[in-house]
C-alpha cells in the first residue's frame, strides 16, 4: 500500500547516504520527490533514474544549503511543477571535526549555515504552501544528546539546536495541523561512515546492539512519521542508534 500517494516531498541533500535512502523510500510509498544536491549531480541523477525506473516520480535540483535564495527557489519550483508541498525533509548537513582549540570561525559559520540556519530557511519557505497534515522532519544526530569523544563540538552544537527548532516549530504549526519531528541517527553505514571503517569498532562498542544502521532503517522511520500513522506525533525526538545513548 502506498501510504504517501498524492503527496509531494522535498528532501535536502538527497544524492547519497541517508538522504538518498529517504528519497527512495518516500517514492516507494507513492510520494513525488524533489531532492536537492550541491556537487553530486551524477549521484543525484542516479537516484532519480532509479526511482523513475520503478515507476516513481523524482527530480533533482541543485541548491546549496548555504544559499537561502537557492533553497527558496527549490521550494517554489517544487510547488510550481508538482502543485504543492506536503513533506519537507531537512537532511543536508556537514560533519566538522576538531577540538575547540583547532576549529576556526569560518568553520563555525559554515556549520551553523548548513546544519542549523538552512532548516530554518527551508521551514520558512514551505509553511506558506504546506496544507493541514503536512510534515517537517529534520535529520539530527544522536550526538546532539551525548558526545562520547572530543573533536565534535561544532557538530553536536548544530544538531542540538535542531531539537529546540523542532519543538518550537511544533508549537507554531500545530494549530495548522502540521507535524514537526526530528530523527537522530547514530552510526549509519554510508560512504561517510562505513561499517567497516577504521573508526567503526569504537562506535559499535558504545551500542547495546553492536550493529550499524542501514540507511534504509532511518528512511523507514522517516516514512512512518511522514505517513498517516504519524499524525499524532509532533515535537518529538526519535533516536535510532542501536542503543548507543542508553
For the annotated catalytic residues, the residue numbers are 155
CA distance 154 to 81: 37
Burial of 69 (0-12, 13-18, 19+ CB in 10 A): exposed
* Region at 84 (left for phi over 0; alpha for psi -120 to 50; beta for the rest): left
The single residue listed with the C-alpha cell 532548516 is 119
Which residues in 134-159 are b (16+ Cβ under 10 Å) and which e?
Answer: bbbbbbbbbbbbeeeeeebbbbbbbb
Within a 13 Å sphere around the CA of 185, how many CA atoms are in the beta-carbon half?
26
Amino acid at each position: 500500500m502506498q501510504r504517501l500517494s498524492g503527496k509531494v516531498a522535498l528532501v535536502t541533500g538527497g544524492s547519497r547516504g541517508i538522504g538518498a535512502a529517504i528519497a527512495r523510500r518516500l517514492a516507494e510509498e507513492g510520494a513525488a520527490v524533489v531532492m536537492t544536491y550541491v556537487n553530486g549531480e551524477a549521484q543525484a541523477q542516479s537516484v532519480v533514474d532509479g526511482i523513475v525506473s520503478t515507476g516513481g516520480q523524482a527530480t533533482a535540483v541543485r541548491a546549496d544549503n548555504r544559499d537561502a535564495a537557492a533553497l527558496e527557489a527549490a521550494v517554489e519550483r517544487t510547488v510550481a511543477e508538482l502543485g504543492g508541498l506536503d513533506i519537507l525533509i531537512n537532511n543536508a548537513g556537514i560533519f566538522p571535526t576538531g577540538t575547540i582549540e583547532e576549529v576556526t570561525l569560518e568553520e563555525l559559520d559554515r556549520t551553523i549555515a548548513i546544519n542549523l540556519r538552512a532548516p530554518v530557511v527551508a521551514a520558512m519557505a514551505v509553511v506558506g504552501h504546506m496544507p493541514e497534515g503536512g510534515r517537517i522532519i529534520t535529520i539530527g544526530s544522536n550526538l546532539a544528546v551525548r558526545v562520547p569523544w572530543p573533536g565534535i563540538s561544532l557538530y553536536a552544537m548544530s544538531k542540538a539546536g535542531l531539537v529546540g527548532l523542532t519543538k518550537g516549530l511544533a508549537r507554531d504549526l500545530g494549530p495548522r495541523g502540521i507535524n514537526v519531528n526530528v530523527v537522530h541517527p547514530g552510526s549509519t553505514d554510508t560512504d561517510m561512515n562505513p561499517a567497516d571503517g577504521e573508526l567503526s569498532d569504537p562506535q559499535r562498542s558504545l551500542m547495546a546492539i553492536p550493529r550499524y544502521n542501514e540507511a534504509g532503517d532511518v528512511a523507514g522511520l522517516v516514512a512512518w512519521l511522514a505517513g498517516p500513522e504519524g499524525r499524532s506525533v509532533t515535537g518529538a525526538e526519535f533516536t535510532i542508534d542501536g542503543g548507543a545513548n542508553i
